[in-house]
A and B are shown apart, each in its own frame.
Chain A
C-alpha cells in the first residue's frame, strides 16, 4: 500500500480535454479518400482561407515543440504534430492519464461550399486519427470531426464511428451560419445521444469560408483582437442552446466548450436568469432557470485561464459559476498559449482540483480511465 502510494504522488488522475493533433502531411489523408478527392486535396487542400492566418508562438504552436528545421516536405503548416512526440512530451512528461484529441480541420470543413468534399475530408481525418493516433496509445480519446453544415451527413458520420470505444464527442466550431442551438443542427445532437457521445465545441473558422464575420461589427484587424472576441463566440451558442430548448429536448446531452475560458460566464448567467424571469412566457419550453441549465449540461475547459492581478478574483469567478461542477482541465497542447497542469489551480482545495482535473470530464464525456482497469 505504501509503495503504491509513494509511486503515485497525485491523488487523482489528470484528464486533458483539449489536445490538438494533426496530419503532418496532406498525403497522410490520401489513403482514406477517394481518388478524386485525394487529387483535389493534394492540389488545393482545404480550399478555404481561415480568417485568422496569424497566431502566436511559432505558427500557433509552442516554439519548444516545433522543429522548424525539419518541416515535412508537403507540410500542411504543422511541422511538429507527431504522435510519438505528443505521447512522450505531453502524456508522459506531464503525467496525463487521458487526453481528448480535438484536431483538427472540422471547423474549417464546416465552412466549405462543397458539402460532400468537406464531409469527405472529415471522414478521412477521422479514419487517419483513429489509426495513427488513437490506436497508438490507450490514453487517447477522440472528438469526432463532422461537417456541421450538413447535419444529416454529420449524423451519418457519428453513426459510422460513434461506437468506437475511444470516440467520446462530436466536434463543433464556433463560427457557424446559425447559432448551434437552432433546430437545423438537431440531427447532430440526436445522433450524439443515440451513440452516447457528448458535443465538444472549439472555436475556429469564425469569419472563414461560408461563415459570417467573427463579430457583429465585421472583421477586426489583428489576431489579438480576434482572441478578445472569443467569449462572444461561445456566448452566442450558450444562449442558443438554452433558449432553443436543446437540453429540454435532449436531456442527457452534454456540451463541452473548449478553449473559451470561463471568466465571462457569470455575468451572462446573471443576465439570462434576470431576463428569463420577465420574458419566460416568450420561450415557455425553457422550464428551468437558464443558469441551472448551464450548470447541468455545459462544461467549460479551463484554458486559457485568466490571470487577474488579484488571484482572489479568480476564486470568486470560480465560485460564481460553480466551477466545482462546470470546469474541466485542458492544456491546449501543443499550442503556444497552453496551460501547464502543474501550474493550473495550484493551491486550490483538493476537492475542487479533483472535480476539475478529472471527475467533471469523466462525467461529461463518459470516459473510462485505462489505469482504473489496470489498477485492479
Chain B
C-alpha cells in the first residue's frame, strides 16, 4: 500500500512545469503536461543521473533523412547526462520500452481530506504503473494540493 506525500499546491506547477521532491527517501520529479500530472523517479536507470533535470520535449520522428517531425510535444523527458529518452506518461524508454524504464508514481490532486479526483490508469503495459488526474476536475474553494503516492 503506497503512502501519500504532499508535493505542493497543484497550481504551483504550471503546464509544462515540474517540481522535484523527496518522498519516502527518494527523489521524484512531478511534471505537469497539459494540466495533467505525472511523476517519475529522479534517477536514470542507465547510470543514476538526476533524470528529472533533463529537457522535456516532443518525440522526434522522421521517415527519411533530413525529415524531423515533433509529436507528443512536452511528453518526452531526455536524461541530462547521456540523453536517453523516456515517456513521462508511462516511464517507458523510447528506444526499448519494455526492457528499460524509469519507475513512475501515482499522483493525486485533493482538497483537504476529500479526494475529488481519483487516479486513472493510463499505462498500456500493466507492468508499469502510471496514473494521471486532471486538475480541472477539482471543485470547491479550497486550493487543491498535489500528492504523490510512493
Contacts and interface: CB of A to CB of B under 8 A. Distances in A.
Interface of A: 56-58, 62-65, 221, 336-338, 340, 342-343
Contact of B47 (A56, A63, A343): A343
Contacts of A343: 47-48
Interface-centre pick from A56, A57, A221, A336 (highest chain B CB count, 10 A): A57
Interface-centre pick from A64, A221, A343 (highest chain B CB count, 10 A): A64
Contact of A63 (B48, B65, B80): B80
Interface string B76-99: 001011110000000000000000
Main secondary structure of the interface of A (DSSP, over half): loop
A336 B78 CA distance: 12
A340 B78 CA distance: 18
Contacts of B54: 63-64
B50 A64 contact: yes
B53 interface: yes
A64 B47 contact: no
Given A340-B48, A343-B48, A62 B55 contact: no
B100 interface: no
Interface of B: 47-50, 53-55, 65, 78, 80-83
A342 B49 CA distance: 11
18 contacts: A56-B82, A56-B83, A57-B81, A62-B81, A63-B53, A63-B55, A63-B78, A63-B80, A64-B49, A64-B50, A64-B80, A64-B81, A221-B65, A336-B83, A337-B82, A338-B81, A340-B49, A343-B47
B48 to A, nearest CB: 7
Contacts of A336: 80-83
Contacts of A62: 80-81
Given A56-B83, A57-B83, A340 B55 contact: no
Contacts of A63: 53-55, 78, 80-81
Nearest to A222: B65
A335 to B, nearest CB: 10
Contacts of B50: 64
A129 to B, nearest CB: 25
B91 to A, nearest CB: 19
| Interchain residue pairs A-B with the least CB separation, the first 10 | A63-B80, A64-B80, A64-B53, A343-B47, A56-B83, A340-B47, A62-B80, A64-B50, A63-B54, A62-B81
A299 to B, nearest CB: 24
A336 B55 CA distance: 13
